[in-house]
Amino acid sequence: MQQLSKISTHTLAQAGQRSSWQAELADGVSDVGELCRMLALDLPDGQYAPKQFGLRVPKSFVAKMKKGDINDPLLRQILPDVKETVAAAGYTHDPLAENTQNPIKGLLHKYKNRVLITTTGACAVHCRYCFRQHFDYQANMPNTQQIAQIANYVANKPEVNEVIFSGGDPLNLSHRRLNDWFDAINALPNIKTMRIHTRMPVVLPSRVDGDLLDLLKNSPKNIVMVLHINHANEIDETLQQKCQLLKQAGVTLLNQTVLLKGVNDDATTLCQLSHALFGAGILPYYLHILDKVQGAAHFDVPLTRAVEIYWQMLENLSGYLVPKLVQELPNKPYKTPVNLYP
Ligand code: SF4
């Protein structure tokens, strides 16, 4: 089967047609009414109408939600809410001050040993709490020439040994475009590791196809994939199988979670998540405090509550299942560990 799918994706690419994941991506849900029909929900008029950052979710992710449950933890992550329009004190469009840290288009150089590339502004899913939901992708989208410029910048920074592909979601790129990035970075001797930050295997598992696995397998660099999973219900058998294929291709799988009110803000839910991740071959890496991006204040979990939850996790999980509790603060050259002894 694997061989067959490989042949078909190559053939489609040669013929200039969409591969099956691209067809699924295009078939995603962007209308709240359609989503409600799929989930048998009857929502009050106006409360869930998208304002600026539209609804976007693949049907394969909707299939993991419980029908008739407005509080489903996966639904809450993607359903636009009128609360997003409320201006909250301390919440801004650029909570991490990233607009001041891009020396060339498409490249963020915040940390000493690594750079981050915003390869695309597109994602298969629009997470309501996304800290880059107001990011100016138009001004930061590298074209073919800029791929070479970025590679040149990185080649001339011997202290940089890791490149992070981010976005948007880098696996939203076509195979050809991703291949261009891999070719450019594979050629740099100072780069030891390529890291991919993605939600695609979780929300659109068909993206992990033969072409992608070949690309990952054939890279001479260490490949780290940091998934973004917030709740154990996001991990099903299909994702587990895809994770196995990724591991067979030599990929190290890590996960980052955002602590979100109404989604995962209790220790039991987070302990279940850690176990489910480990069962799928993924190590819990970071538990992030919400970035204060405008429109996401209703997901905030106070720091004191976060610390209380974290101590309960420490009490109930083996050390290797406890992610690091961190917070990203503007202009800091690292993720800041949360003080557990306030
Ligand atoms: S997948 Fe990541 S980048 Fe895309 S909307 Fe969600 S959090 Fe933001």
Mean pLDDT across the stretch 148-169?
Answer: 96
Q: How far is the CA of 4 from the centre of ligand 1 (A)?
A: 31
Least Cα distance to 88 among 295, 338, 325, 299 occurs for: 295
125 Cα–ligand 1 center, Å? 7
pLDDT at site 132 = 82
CA-CA-CA-CA torsion sign (220, 104, 118, 258): positive
Joined tokens for residue 250: 């030599």
Would you put residue 293 in left (φ > 0), alpha (ψ -120 to 50) or beta? Answer: beta
Per-state percent for the chain, helix, strand, coil, to nearest 5: 40, 15, 45
Q: How many helices (H) and strands (E) does the chain have?
A: 12, 9
Nearest CA to ligand 1 atom 6: 127
The answer, yes or no, to whether any atom of ligand 1 lies below 6 A from the CB of 199, is yes
132 lines ligand 1 (CB under 6 A): yes
- Best mutation site among 126, 128, 134 for ligand 1 pocket (most ligand atoms within 8 Å of CB): 126
pLDDT at 286 over 80: yes
User: Does the Cβ of 169 fall within 6 Å of ligand 1?
Assistant: yes
* Backbone Cα Rg of the chain: 20
Whether 170 lines ligand 1, by a CB cut-off of 6 Å, is no
Would the CB of 126 count as within 6 Å of ligand 1? yes
Q: How confident is the prediction for the chain on average, in pLDDT?
A: 90
- CA 301/CA 216 separation, integer angstroms: 37
**Are residues 84 and 53 in contact, defined by beta-carbon separation less than 8 angstroms?**
yes
What lies within 8 Å, CB to CB, of 116 at 6+ separation is 107, 108, 109, 110, 164, 166
pLDDT band for position 1 (cuts 50, 70, 90): very low
162 alpha carbon to ligand 1 midpoint, in Å? Answer: 21
In this predicted structure, the answer to whether residue 127 has a pLDDT above a threshold of 60 is yes
Q: Check residues 89 and 165 and name the one with the higher pLDDT.
A: 165
3-state secondary structure 137-162: CHHHCCCHHHHHHHHHHHHCCCCCCE
The residue-averaged pLDDT of 279-301 equals 96
Measure 313 CA to ligand 1 centroid, in angstroms.
26
Question: Do 167 and 140 contact (CB within 8 A), yes or no?
Answer: no
Instruction: Give the Cα separation of 24 and 91 in Å (integer).
Output: 34
pLDDT at position 4 over 60: no
Give the integer Cα–Cα distance in Å for 146 and 263: 39
**Within 13 Å, how many C-alpha atoms sit on residue 194's CB side?**
27
Measure 198 CA to ligand 1 centroid, in angstroms.
Answer: 8
Confidence of residue 114 (pLDDT cuts 50, 70, 90): very high
Which DSSP string do the residues of 40-62 spell out, in sequence order?
Answer: T--PPTTTT---SS---B-HHHH
Which amino acid is residue 144, in one-letter code?
Answer: T
* Residue 203 Cβ < 6 Å to ligand 1: no
With the most atoms of ligand 1 within 8 angstroms of its CB, the residue from 169, 229, 231 to mutate is 169
User: Would you state the structure tokens that stand for residue 30, as one six-digit string?
Assistant: 């962007």
pLDDT at 225: 98
In terms of CATH architecture, what is 94-337? Alpha-Beta Barrel (3.20)
The per-residue pLDDT for 104 is 86
pLDDT tens for 192-251 read 999 999 999 999 999 999 999 999 999 999 999 999 999 999 999 999 999 999 999 999
Where does the pLDDT of residue 99 fall: very low under 50, low under 70, confident under 90, or very high at 90 and above?
A: low
Quick one: which of 175, 117, 182, 125 has its CA closest to 146?
117
Residue 5: per-residue pLDDT? 33
- 19 has a pLDDT exceeding 50: yes
Residue 213 is predicted with a pLDDT of 98
Residue with tokens 């979990």: 301
Flag the least confident range among 5-9, 150-154, 221-225, 276-280.
5-9
pLDDT at 184 over 60: yes
Residue 253 has pLDDT above 90, yes or no: yes
* Residue with more model confidence, 4 or 309: 309
